[in-house]
Amino acid sequence: MKKRISTLIPAYLMLSLNAVSQAPAASLYTANRAPLAAKPYLELPLGAIQPQGWLRQQLQTMASGLTGHLDERYPAVVGPRNGWLGGDGDGWERGPYWIDGLLPLAYILQDQALIATTRPWIEWCLTHQRPDGDFGPEELDQPRPEPGLQKTQRRDWWPRMVMLKVLMQYYSATQDARVVDLMRRYFRYQLTELPRTPLDHWTIWANRRGGDNLMAVYWLYNLTGEPFLLNLADLLIQQTFPWTRVFLNDRPADFHSAFPGGSPWIYNLVRYPWKEEQINALSVKEQRAFHCVNLAQGLKQPVVVYQQHPEQVYLQAVKQALADVQRYHGQAQGMYGGDEPLHGNHPTQGVELCAVVEWMFSLETMLSITGDLTWADHLEKIAYNALPPQADDEYTSRQYFQCANQVLITRDRRNFFETENHGHTDLCYGLLTGYPCCTCNMHQGWPKFVQNLWYATLDSGAAALLYAPSQVTLTVADRVPVTIYEETDYPFDATVRFILSVKKSTMFPFYLRIPDWCEKAEVFINGRLWRTCSGRQSVRLKRTWKNNDCVKLVLAQSIRTSRWVEASVAVERGPLVFSLKIEEDWKSVPSTDKWGDYQEVYPAGPWNYGLLEEAVTNPQQGFTVIQKSVGAKPWNLTNAPLEIRTRGKRIAEWQLYCNSAGPLPASPVTHLVQEPAQEILLVPYGCTTLRITEFPVVR
């Protein structure tokens, strides 16, 4: 058995136990208050879940990298002049973005230095709320423009939504009652002010992202029960972009009728492979209607609304949206082509880092509200494929865009919508390459994933809905604390062991998610087979648990393939997607322009391979899995814990086009293939920088 880190009962849990003498365990965690629909899974206080193994190392790397030191690397924006610290500098979204990831990281690691870094941001908000209830940076009188600083639009509703998320997390970790007071006063201000200055008064962003504001209103309502908050919620719903209507609209893809009267509200913006000349013909406001990050955040809005208006149409809309995104824009790693606007499903279209972490947060939000395990499956696919490679191994630089097929990273023009305005730096690793929003927003991905590994349940139990090495301390049954140690190399191995630590024998339910990709799962309790089941379900284990009881979950996983554009194929196993292993040649490039120094990556070998049709037809025979040990930093070529060996053929005429892998030859490919088959290696997508993920199939 692996060595476990001992855990004391956290202070927040002791306070709860002392304050609630007779309540069942579920009442210790914030549940939806009537008339809001009940949530099956209840979020745990920040810090209750502790990552272990490679996942803890990932967070510690963030702490020593950009996340913990962004104020040193990017002082012009998140330094002491930031408007959210009372300064005259940048005063829009980037400061709150950083703290939205730094704060949960700090409290999960209990890193006192990082906690101290977050405190001035929290304290300035709590101590500088205005008499009318508004908070945040005030408008500057005739601000002097400074390159790289967003000094205007300081009254915009949108960045306040990000800071509300920060304050909610801070309250979760500290129970600081000042947060409740600030939010109560701010929401009364919103109820008065929004009729005069609606969400889209200053910018379009608040209108598209109003679901984040709505989440905070429901959060406070669950704490205080004040009726005015539900009135405000309805007002926010009215003023937010009608995502539900858009997701469900079946209008034909006729560009000329897409925006009658200049309004994009009636058209399904997802179900359309937009062409560049059509995008350019739209106004900026219309383009932003289907901006890739707006979609990532807007996805959750109908589900958030569902809590107050529990009608199936809201859940149906999000299901339809996800299906449409996958069909028209999807890539194999779980994301979608959106190099700013949505841009179709070719594997060389860009995927913005902000969209990755916001899509994850939307899925986490929807999972806790609905209990729908579809969202857990998709969340793991993104977290274990798209998230790791978009930052470098030491978390000191990042890409603005990534691609499913990415064979050259240079400062050159590509087939992206946003390229001229970004100096063609979108794929390059750097601090400010592409656009710097991702420099600040990237940090929420891993900490919030950790925070959603475990939940309490309404029936006073515990639920493991996402898998990773971790431990959790929570209260179950009748105020009984339990610590559960999760020992696993998941996602690189599909065996998960849970060791329970309780001071007295206690009956409570323990829920385990069986992923959709799992054909057969076996659940063992103390070494004896308890149940065999199939995927996409939650298994409920209710029994009297004793100290050191062990639950082992064995998830059968086999090689499977999925089809993409031009009948190309991706190779998958468990939650992981696999890509061609391409050796990398990294080059640092000094630069004095506004994008700063950056790194380019060149392939050190060929990349234009197709997979053999015989292997794709019979994957269990055509692919061989090589399992290796899982180290502290597994997300790179050197340390990749898994390899898949197969055979492929080079396609001579498949070459670079516009500095990317050229258009995929339609599968099966015959006339372009002349070389004999040879062995090739595939590794997890998250371990790659250069990659082919959606392969042509050759005969």
Joined tokens for residue 71: 């104020």
**Torsional class of 64: left (φ above 0), alpha (ψ -120 to 50), beta (otherwise):** alpha
Place of tokens 């999960």: 108
Beta strand 697-698 pairing with 609-612: parallel
CA distance 587 to 380: 32
Question: Which H or E run contains 317?
Answer: helix 312-329
CA distance 462 to 124: 37
**Torsional class of 568: left (φ above 0), alpha (ψ -120 to 50), beta (otherwise):** beta
**Residue 24: per-residue pLDDT:** 56
**Residue 360: per-residue pLDDT:** 98
Q: Kindly report each contact of residues 32-36 with a partner whose C-beta sits within 8 Å and lies 24 or more positions away, as own/partner.
A: 32/218, 32/222, 32/307, 33/221, 33/222, 33/225, 35/230, 35/308, 36/218, 36/221, 36/222, 36/307, 36/308
CA distance 447 to 437: 18
Residues facing residue 552 across a β-bridge: 497, 524
Other Cβ atoms within 10 Å of 92 Cβ, number? 26
What is the tens place of the pLDDT at every residue in 149-207? 999 999 999 999 999 999 999 999 999 999 999 999 999 999 999 999 999 999 999 99
Joined tokens for residue 348: 């060389």
In this structure, is the dihedral angle defined by the CA atoms of residues 239, 240, 244 and 249, taken in order, positive or negative?
A: positive
The closest alpha carbon to 41, from 369, 285, 316, 262, belongs to 369
The closest alpha carbon to 121, from 83, 148, 157, 150, belongs to 83
DSSP 442: G
Coil, strand, or helix at residue 660? strand
**Residue 280: per-residue pLDDT:** 58
CA distance 168 to 344: 36
CA distance 26 to 659: 55
Beta strand 470-476 pairing with 49-51: antiparallel
Tell me which residues of the chain have a pLDDT lower than 50.
1-23, 252-267, 287
Contact 382, 434 (CB under 8 A): no
Supply the angle between the helices 94-109 and 53-64 in degrees, to the nearest 10: 130
CA distance 329 to 323: 10
Contact 480, 25 (CB under 8 A): yes
Beta strand 569-573 pairing with 576-580: antiparallel
Other Cβ atoms within 10 Å of 280 Cβ, number? 9
In order of 322, 333, 496, the CA distances from 558 in angstroms are: 25, 18, 17
In this structure, is the dihedral angle defined by the CA atoms of residues 354, 360, 363 and 369, taken in order, positive or negative?
A: negative
**Residue 1: per-residue pLDDT:** 37
What is the tens place of the pLDDT at every residue in 30-41? 999 999 999 999
**Cβ-Cβ contacts under 8 Å for 246 (sequence gap 6 or more):** 264, 265, 266, 267, 268, 269, 270
Place of tokens 């210790």: 28
Locate the domains of the chain by residue range. 454-555
Question: Which H or E run contains 319?
Answer: helix 312-329
Residues facing residue 642 across a β-bridge: 627
Full 3-state SS string of 15-29: HHHHHCCCCCHHHHC
End-to-end CA distance of the chain: 48
Other Cβ atoms within 10 Å of 656 Cβ, number? 13
**Cβ-Cβ contacts under 8 Å for 633 (sequence gap 6 or more):** 54, 57, 58, 61, 393, 639
DSSP 668: S
Percent of all residues in the chain with a pLDDT value above 90, rounded to a whole number: 85
CA distance 247 to 314: 10
In order of 201, 208, 301, 311, 563, the CA distances from 238 in angstroms are: 14, 12, 12, 16, 39
DSSP secondary structure string for all residues of 365-411: HHHHHH--HHHHHHHHHIIIIISGGGB-TTSS-B-SEE-SSB--B-S
Find the length of the chain. 699
Cα 281–chain centre separation = 31
Contact 58, 449 (CB under 8 A): no
Joined tokens for residue 687: 């371990």
- Peptide bond between residue 491 and the one before it cis (omega within 30 degrees of 0): yes
Joined tokens for residue 106: 């700090």
The CATH number of 454-555, from 2.50.20, 3.10.50, 2.60.120, 2.60.40, is: 2.60.40
Q: State the chain's mean pLDDT as an integer.
A: 91
Other Cβ atoms within 10 Å of 360 Cβ, number? 25
The closest alpha carbon to 577, from 349, 435, 405, belongs to 405
The closest alpha carbon to 385, from 623, 554, 635, belongs to 635
Predicted TM-score of the model (pTM)? 0.93
In order of 81, 140, 223, the CA distances from 86 in angstroms are: 7, 11, 29
CA distance 164 to 209: 13
